[in-house]
Structure 1
Amino acid sequence: MRRYTFLFPFFIGTLFFVLNFSVLGEYDAFVVYDRINLKQVGRDVSSSRLENLDKSHKFTFNTLVWSDEFEGQGGIDTSKWFHQTKLILGDRWANNEEQHYTARIENAYVANGTLRIKAKKEPYTDQGHQKEYTSARLNSKFAFKYGKVVVRAKLPNVAGTWPAIWLLGKNIKEIGGYWTNEGFGKVTWPHCGEIDIMEPNIEKTQTLATWHWFNGREYQMNSKQIPLSNVDASQNFHDFILEWDSKSMRIYLDDTLVNEMSTVKPYDKEFYILLNLAMGGNLGGIVDPDFTEDIMEIDFVRVYQ
């Protein structure tokens, strides 16, 4: 057996994603890791990105350019959203997620003015693989550069659920993704850039606001979190907000600033919105053995410029 030494930039919660994702964005081969040593801890990227940040910078986004108010009853508006269901690593999703995403109305539907993304415990076979949970992952058919995103949502709180409100670069090459299917997929993650407006930690006590990108030399990330101790995100709706222009990017929970950084490449290109509810995985954790189903409920998604 040949042995090699590799250096990987990573942070806790993303290590498995980086190691399991090949340079082609596909699951190419099995690799055995017999020893992983932490040799050096680099500088805090979030601090470095504040060096030239203008904290007095004002955003001016007043025109609503795209939205879904989730009116009516039944399935999602397929003129605005795409069901992403294809397993991107051949037999599974990244980040050790345990579900199948489906295009069924049982997993994503509109009722009483809100979108419900429902994760369910049920044996389900698709693409030749059986999973024990089903849920939904939606890609917006709208992509944009710069603006204000407001998503009003109520979150699940059962152990093992992993809701997320986030954006990816339109140019990502990802199997089964809407923009890849449309011919825009050119680069793999993290070269495309990622913006996580909301994803809770395993304990559901905090929500994280994170940027992931590649700076031309190495993987970079900027992540901060805000306690949910005074926010009952499972019982009440809250606004998860991104403001983003050519100078700065800021993420808010309601009116509270969670994280900010100056705008760098690749955040000078178009991005699209993703809404999903995963099960298990790096930030979902161990699923409650009594889990049957839970919902991420979304009142609206609005984009201003």
Structure 2
Amino acid sequence: MKRIFKIWLPVIFVITAISCSENDLEPADKIEVPEGYVLVWNDEFDNGQIDPLKWTFETGDGTDYGLPRGWGNNELQIYTTSDENARVDMDGDVSALIITALKHGENDFTSAKLTTNGLFSMRFGRVDVRAKLPKGQGIWPAIWTLGDNRSIVDWPGCGEIDIMELLGHEPNKIYGSVHYVDGENRKGESQGYYELTGPDFSEAYHIFSLVWTPETLTFMVNDVKYHEVAIEDDMKEFLRSHYLILNVAVGGYWPGYPDESTAFPQSMYVDYVRVFEKEGFDTPEPPVLDIEEETLGQNLEPGIAQHAIKEGFDDLGNIEVISYGGGGEPYIDTSENAIDGELSLVFDFPGGAWGGAYFQMEQPRNLSNYSHLVFALKKPESLADAEIKLESPSTQSAIFLINYESTELSNGFVEYSIPLSDFHGLDLIQLDIPFAIWNPFDASGDFVAATVLIDNLHFTNR
């Protein structure tokens, strides 16, 4: 993996140089260049169409990119390449890139996600994006970056810089954040915010900026600094190159979900994207990538997931357990407290943020001959509810524990028996995630710290 990283790094810079040729740049007399900088890449969106030499689309629900459905955040939209979702058009007297989220029916949404992945990347400098933002409950526009090594190191080990995120129910407030893997292989982040006192961000264009040096990441709105992050020794993600991303998501754990107050369509208008470098800046060499250092969470022993499965139940085949989240993902362990076999599986949720864990089968399997999902949990009284989700390659469905009665077992466990018919719209012929538990809540609806033991998971007929 390290050899791959070293091979591709020079190619990235060659691509950058090609993308930044003088023929690709807007004439300098049309662009206000910050003092001490030179323009190296830009798109003014004034040619009537999206430039395929500068932007590429990511499409679908995230599974084609190695993410759980919903782009890892339980988002609702499907990203497309349709000009209904992304086009260059006039917004008054501004020629802009317009990314539009559309509602086609109940829980049926489309939008667009554009990136410069493989076409342009940057490492240090300044980014200015002039944009007007959408609003509404469940609407989530973003201007951000990911590390070029995203294909070989999982998020957040690739690094993420959120130049701008807005939660649609707070249209006067934007966030600037960074996400990374810290020195203890846990998710690290730093976040600041900026609030308008006048008309909200949907009423006018504003310039969202990132100033990136080897020492700091500085976030600004209209040249006003509101957040700065010092790049510490365990933040090497921000000493490597990143590509740019523009998108409008619908729903997710953080923004919540659209309701009857949400109007569609909702659009983000981007007047321009400009990238500058410091004049005379001598770019230092990037650190060598250490995959283990930048990998979130644990190195789990092979087969650890089997401790949650009923002994003798073989219809799930080879299976692995994956922990994922935005800081609320559980630590995975085993316990000698079990009701089936010698060990149960432990999910230790830290609380405070969204997260969960799921079982992934090696290949999809047909479980349509069963009527019920059965599993045993040992959970604290503070855990009032959690989401149980099953998925196939094309469908997903969830129930909530609070809606089901349990049967007391020994050793503090209770058993749930969930009719598979309650997982509405689920394709049981091609099931590949036979169990997931997400987002333990307390009675107030807050993410709760909870140690959950899971055992005797199987499918049966009742």
Q: TM-score, normalised by structure 1?
A: 0.71
Write out aligned runs for 1:40-189 (5 A): 62-74=37-49, 76-88=50-62, 89=67, 91-112=69-90, 113-123=95-105, 132-140=108-116, 141-172=119-150, 185-189=151-155
- Letter of the 1:159 partner, please give it: Q
Give identity over the alignment, percent.
38
**TM-aligned CA distance change 1:215 to 1:120, over 3 Å:** same
Q: Which residue of 1 aligns with 2:5?
A: none
| CA displacement, residues 162-186 of structure 1 (integer Å, 9 cap, x when unaligned) | 10011111101xxxxxxxxxxxx21
Paired residues for 1:1-305 under 5 Å: 62-74=37-49, 76-88=50-62, 89=67, 91-112=69-90, 113-123=95-105, 132-140=108-116, 141-172=119-150, 185-201=151-167, 202-217=169-184, 218-263=186-231, 264-289=235-260, 291-305=263-277
Q: Determine if contact 1:61/1:147 at 8 Å carries over to the other structure.
A: no
The CA distance in 2 between the partners of 1:160 and 1:118, in whole Å, is 14
Paired positions, count: 228
The amino acid that maps onto 1:71 is D
1:131 deviation in Å? 5.4
Q: Any idea what SS the aligned residue of 1:143 has?
A: coil
Structure 2 CA distance for aligned equivalents of residues 61 and 275 of structure 1:
27
| C-alpha separation in 1, matches of 2:245 and 2:271 | 15
Whole-angstrom CA distance in 2 between matches of 1:193 and 1:222: 12
- Amino acid corresponding to residue 37 of structure 2 in structure 1: N
Q: CA RMSD in A?
A: 1.9
How far has the Cα of 1:292 moved from its partner?
2.5
Amino acid at match of 2:201: A
Cα distance between partner residues in 2 of 1:216 and 1:191: 11
Q: Distance in 2 between matches of 1:142 and 1:61?
A: 22
1: CA distance between counterparts of 2:84 and 2:241? Answer: 31
Question: Is the CA contact (8 Å cut-off) linking 2:172 and 2:200 kept in structure 1?
Answer: no
User: Can you list the C-alpha shifts for 1:122-143, whole angstroms capped at 9, x where unaligned?
Assistant: 15xxxxxx95100001111211
CA 1:259 to 1:138, structure 2 compared with 1: closer, same or farther past 3 Å? same
Whether the 8 Å CA contact 2:172–2:201 is kept in 1: the answer is no
Change (3 A) 1:111 1:121: same
Equivalent position of 2:358 in the other structure = none
When the two structures are superposed, what TM-score results if normalisation uses the length of structure 2? 0.47
Residue 194 of structure 1 deviates from its aligned partner by 0.6
Does the 8 Å CA contact 2:76/2:107 hold for their aligned counterparts?
yes
Q: Highest CA radius of gyration, 1 or 2? A: 2
User: For 1:283 and 1:215, how far apart are their aligned partners in 2?
Assistant: 22
**Aligned partners of 1:119 and 1:133 also within 8 Å:** yes
Counterpart of 1:122, as a letter, is H
Q: Which amino acid aligns with 1:300?
A: Y
User: 1:30 — aligned with what?
Assistant: none
- The structure-2 alpha-carbon separation of the partners of 1:77 and 1:262, relative to structure 1 and needing over 3 Å to count, comes to same
Identify unmatched segments of 5+ residues in structure 1: 1-58, 124-129, 173-184
2:240 & 2:80 partners in 1: Cα distance? 29
Q: Distance in 2 between matches of 1:99 and 1:132?
A: 7
Could you tell me how far apart the structure 2 residues matched to 1:231 and 1:271 are?
A: 33
Q: Which amino acid aligns with 2:236?
A: K
Structure 1: distance between partners of 2:149 and 2:107: 29
CA shift, 1:60, in A, is: 7.0
- Taking CA–CA contacts closer than 8 Å with sequence separation of 6 or more, which of the two structures ends up with the larger relative contact order? 1
Determine if contact 1:190/1:213 at 8 Å carries over to the other structure: yes
Look up the SS of the partner of 1:266 in the other structure.
helix
Partners of 2:68 and 2:230 lie apart in 1 by 36
* CA distance in structure 2 between the aligned counterparts of 1:116 and 1:246, rounded to whole angstroms: 33
Q: Could you report, residue by residue, the CA deviation over 1:109-168 in whole angstroms, capped at 9, with x for unpaired residues?
A: 001211000010015xxxxxx951000011112111101000000001122211001111
Question: In 2, are the aligned partners of 1:215 and 1:265 still within 8 Å (CA)?
Answer: no
CA contact (8 A) 2:171 2:201 kept: no
Q: Give, in whole Å, the separation in 1 of the partners of 2:265 and 2:60.
A: 22
Distance (Å, rounded) in 2 between the aligned partners of 1:231 and 1:151: 19
1:267 match: secondary structure: helix
Structure-2 separation of matches of 1:64 and 1:98: 37
Shift, 1:255, TM fit: 2.1
Aligned CA distance change for structure 1 residues 254 and 98 (closer, same or farther; 3 Å):
same
